[in-house]
Amino acid sequence: MSETILIVDDTPANLSVLVDTLSEAGYKLMVAEDGEDALAQTTHTKPDLILLDVMMPGLDGFETCGRLKAETATRDIPVIFMTALNETAEKVRAFNAGAVDYITKPIQHEEALARISTHLTIRRLRAKLEQQLALTERFMRIASHDLRNPLCLILMSGELARRKGATPEVSEYLESIHASSGQMRRIIDTFLNVRKPGDDGRGPAGRVDLNLMAAAVVAQNEPAAERKQLVVTTELNETLPQAKADAGYAYQALTNYVSNAIKFLPAGGRVTVRTSATDFAVRLAVADNGPGVPAAERGALFTEFARLSNRPTGGEESTGIGLSIVKQLIEGEKGKVGADFPAGGGSVFWFELPVAPGS
């Protein structure tokens, strides 16, 4: 084994027995006789796990653990308390201080080894998962960056073709190519600029007119709807206040809703994009008269890679991530998402965003 364990105990007899037991098990060991010594040692060497006695002179185990968890360099090291206390309140206090487990004295060495092995395994798996996630994110960013260049070329070529003039039908197709390519570029730019949870570096959210956005998304999706013999319309609240959100995120969320409705509706279907508002929120809803979603499957909506029984009606591809993207985008803007299924049939997928101040 290559893991290192720091044992913190002010009783030499306890230290001696633990050192013998853990050494025989193959662990590398560090030893500290009080909390101050433990904190000093962890500034130079980071153990993989800490066995921490509760009752010690000076800094007790609770305060020592609290200080370890307050430092970025040591907060992720699992701490197992060693205690002769058997009161529930003391155990709860240990977990509140940041411990992952506790061992009751007198220590049963087989139990101690089992608990140590379990938490070291969890630590290894967590580190491996974080590494895999970092590699995946790096790959996705590289792929998105490389996709941006050919998309810009498509946009430029489409714009040149539009300027040269074409029949009304070809012009309509070129306009659709231009709008769709532009939206793809915005999605890629959004991904490249996305920040981790808790990072507020994106700055304050902007103001969004959801009526204008609804009209633009409907116009963009009309050619696809016509090819499937569907009708896409709007019902807009003329006194709608502006929403507080990133316009690109809201546009992407609405585009996913509308394209989903078109994807799963049979010929002759109808999609209606509606806007409404309350005192505190602006709602955008996409209603359709399709088959809806079976009640047993509704709990899986907005989850990543959800596979529902409804299938696209025109041979389109379904990845199962569109609704989960909507949820992530809208909740990141302090909004809410949801879906309703009227008794008469059909589906209504909606999201709400906060009303912009002064609207």
Q: Could you tell me if 331 and 208 lie in one domain?
A: yes
Q: Which of 76, 107, 138 is the last residue of a domain?
A: 107
What does the pLDDT average to over 182-199? Answer: 57
What does the pLDDT average to over 141-158? Answer: 67
Q: Could you tell me if 223 and 339 lie in one domain?
A: yes
Measured distance CA(274)–CA(236) in Å, rounded = 5
Measured distance CA(205)–CA(333) in Å, rounded = 8
Measured distance CA(337)–CA(331) in Å, rounded = 8
294 phi/psi in degrees, rounded to 5:
-55, 140
- 3-state DSSP assignment of residue 357: coil
More confident residue, 200 or 108: 108
Position 219 scores a pLDDT of: 84
Q: Could you tell me if 94 and 218 lie in one domain?
A: no
Q: Which of 40, 75, 107 is the last residue of a domain?
A: 107
Question: Beta strand pairing status for 101-104 and 336-340?
Answer: unpaired
Measured distance CA(221)–CA(20) in Å, rounded = 71
Q: Taking 50 as the threshold, does the pLDDT of residue 74 lie above it?
A: yes
Q: Could you tell me if 214 and 316 lie in one domain?
A: yes
Q: Of 218-227, 310-319, 327-336, where does mean pLDDT reach its minimum?
A: 310-319
Tokens 């060495």 appear where? Answer: 109
Tell me, what CATH number does 30's domain have? 3.40.50.2300
Q: Is residue 145 part of a domain?
A: no
What percentage of the chain carries pLDDT values higher than 90? 43
Q: Could you tell me if 82 and 215 lie in one domain?
A: no
Position 202 scores a pLDDT of: 44
Q: Is residue 190 part of a domain?
A: no
Q: Which of 79, 107, 135 is the last residue of a domain?
A: 107
Confidence of residue 198 (pLDDT cuts 50, 70, 90): very low
pLDDT digits (tens, 9 = 90+) for 78-106: 999 998 877 778 788 888 889 999 888 88
Count of structural domains, the chain: 2
Q: Is the peptide bond before 354 cis (omega within 30 degrees of 0)?
A: no
Position 200 scores a pLDDT of: 42
Position 319 scores a pLDDT of: 63
Q: Taking 60 as the threshold, does the pLDDT of residue 196 lie above it?
A: no
Q: Taking 80 as the threshold, does the pLDDT of residue 165 lie above it?
A: no
Measured distance CA(226)–CA(173) in Å, rounded = 12
Position 211 scores a pLDDT of: 93
Q: Is residue 167 part of a domain?
A: no
- The pLDDT mean for the chain works out to 84
Any residues with CB less than 8 A from the CB of 133 and at least 6 apart, and which?
none
pLDDT digits (tens, 9 = 90+) for 102-149: 888 888 889 999 999 999 999 998 888 888 777 766 666 666 656 666
Q: Taking 70 as the threshold, does the pLDDT of residue 153 lie above it?
A: no
Q: Taking 50 as the threshold, does the pLDDT of residue 340 lie above it?
A: yes
More confident residue, 299 or 201: 299
Tell me, what CATH number does 236's domain have? 3.30.565.10
Angle value at C-alpha 155, between 312 and 232, nearest 5 degrees: 35
> CA dist 194 to 189, 250, 257, Å?
8, 14, 21
DSSP bridge pairs for 207: 244
Q: Could you tell me if 103 and 210 lie in one domain?
A: no
Q: Is residue 88 part of a domain?
A: yes
DSSP bridge pairs for 79: 50
Of the spans 86-90, 263-267, 345-349, which averages the highest pLDDT?
Answer: 345-349
What does the pLDDT average to over 251-263? Answer: 90
More confident residue, 279 or 159: 279
Q: Is residue 128 part of a domain?
A: no
Any residues with CB less than 8 A from the CB of 309 and at least 6 apart, and which?
294, 297
- Here the tokens at position 222 are 């009309």
Domain with 47, as residue range(s), is 4-107
What does the pLDDT average to over 171-186? Answer: 74
More confident residue, 57 or 240: 240
Q: Is residue 335 part of a domain?
A: yes
Q: Could you tell me if 102 and 215 lie in one domain?
A: no
Position 146 scores a pLDDT of: 62
Q: Could you tell me if 206 and 344 lie in one domain?
A: yes
Q: Is residue 150 part of a domain?
A: no
Question: Could you tell me if 61 and 55 are in contact, meaning their C-beta atoms sit under 8 angstroms apart?
Answer: yes
Measured distance CA(263)–CA(225) in Å, rounded = 9
Q: Is residue 280 part of a domain?
A: yes
Any residues with CB less than 8 A from the CB of 308 and at least 6 apart, and which?
293, 294, 297, 300, 301
Helix pair 61-70, 88-97: axis angle to 10 deg: 20
